[in-house]
Copies of this chain bind each other. A is one copy, B any other.
Amino acid sequence: MTVKPDWIAVDWGTSNLRAWAMAGASVLTTARSDEGMGRLNPEDFEPALLRLIGDWLGTGSVRIVACGMVGSRQGWAEAPYQTTPCHPHADAPIKPLVIDERLDVRLLRGVKQDKPADVMRGEETQIGGFLAAHPDFGGVLCLPGTHTKWVHVSAGEIVSFRTFMSGEIFALMATQSVLRHGIAAEGWDEDAFVGGLQDAVSKPEALAAQFFSLRAEGLLHGLSPVAARSRLSGLVIGAELAASKPYWLGQPVALIGAHRLCTANAAALKVQGLEAQIASGDAMTLAGLAAAHIQMTEDA
């Protein structure tokens, strides 16, 4: 089978490279590799892309719309940030220099906020995808992950946002700290999660002590590694919910991201009395790339 895409969508992060061969809004096929930005020097990006999608190219030029760390200072070419408040893709993308003239590459820009200083790169595309599907949405988007984003959206624009290192703190505590001896790699204990969540929501300032209690509870009271993992997750999310309350209180909230992370965060918000909708992170990335592609076509 020969694939003949009329454009190609690319999500190029620090660790992974994913591509979709597209016909309009339809996916013809997909491909992925582990040649993420973190492993590549600037001159390595074009060969890495050709290795992945070379078979999809014919003789003519194809537009390739890419988001993520590929557009960072350490990426293929820097796609400077837009500044809040802004539409997710208000400014034109950046075209890196290429040798193979069939590649018409467009690197989407990230978004920055001056005060409090904050940045996103990749999430703006998921937000663009969500807003393409819900153009009248006004409220708050939460994109849970290594660096969770809380984003205030109004009239199609990113008004303000705040990044929490919750996912990275969880991972470092679970795998690199003294707690690692008592934290399971898998498994879930809902009661332990909710207990940690409520303790952190009511005393978020005590997080560093609540962490150590996981070790002491294991030594003294036999806290199981699965319960410890779930409680650690509840503590981290609870502290984040306490701090992000000015964002979500009384607002419509949608979660965008990996299913497991979204359901954990939705459960946490539900304990706070809030029903959040959930949207798939992968689907929103592709929808955002498609929305950017349509906009470029209209702007051309």
Give the docked Cα–Cα distance between A112 and B172 (Å).
Answer: 26
Question: Is A203 part of the contact surface with B, judged by Cβ < 8 Å?
Answer: yes
Give the docked Cα–Cα distance between A219 and B178 (Å).
Answer: 31
Most buried by B among A173, A206, A221: A206
Which stretch of A49-57, A159-167, A184-192, A264-272 is in the interface? A159-167
Output the least CB separation between A116 and chain B (Å): 6
A147, closest chain B residue (CB): B212
Question: Is A205 part of the contact surface with B, judged by Cβ < 8 Å?
Answer: yes
Name the B residues within 8 Å of A212 (CB-CB).
Answer: 118, 147, 163-165
Which of B81, B165, B211 meets A208, CB within 8 Å?
B165
Count of chain A residues near B, Cβ 8 A:
44
Which residues of chain A in 109-139 are interfacial with respect to chain B, using CB atoms and an 8 Å cutoff?
Answer: 112-114, 116-119
Question: Is A168 part of the contact surface with B, judged by Cβ < 8 Å?
Answer: yes
Give the docked Cα–Cα distance between A297 and B128 (Å).
Answer: 75
Interface residue SS majority, chain A: helix
Question: Is A40 part of the contact surface with B, judged by Cβ < 8 Å?
Answer: no
Question: Is B176 touching A216 in the complex (CB atoms < 8 A)?
Answer: no
Which of B73, B162, B208, B215 meets A209, CB within 8 Å?
B162
Which residues of chain A in 200-235 are interfacial with respect to chain B, using CB atoms and an 8 Å cutoff?
Answer: 203-209, 211-213, 215-217, 219-221
A212, closest chain B residue (CB): B163
Output the least CB separation between A74 and chain B (Å): 9
Output the least CB separation between A72 and chain B (Å): 9
Question: Is B118 touching A216 in the complex (CB atoms < 8 A)?
Answer: yes
Question: Is A216 touching B178 in the complex (CB atoms < 8 A)?
Answer: no
Name the B residues within 8 Å of A216 (CB-CB).
Answer: 112-113, 116-119, 163
Name the B residues within 8 Å of A205 (CB-CB).
Answer: 204-205, 239, 242-243
Question: Is A177 part of the contact surface with B, judged by Cβ < 8 Å?
Answer: yes
16 contacts between A and B (CB under 8 A): A117-B217, A117-B221, A118-B212, A118-B216, A119-B219, A146-B178, A165-B209, A165-B211, A165-B212, A168-B177, A169-B211, A172-B172, A206-B243, A207-B239, A208-B243, A209-B243
5 closest residue pairs by CB, A with B: A204-B205, A117-B216, A164-B208, A206-B243, A163-B212
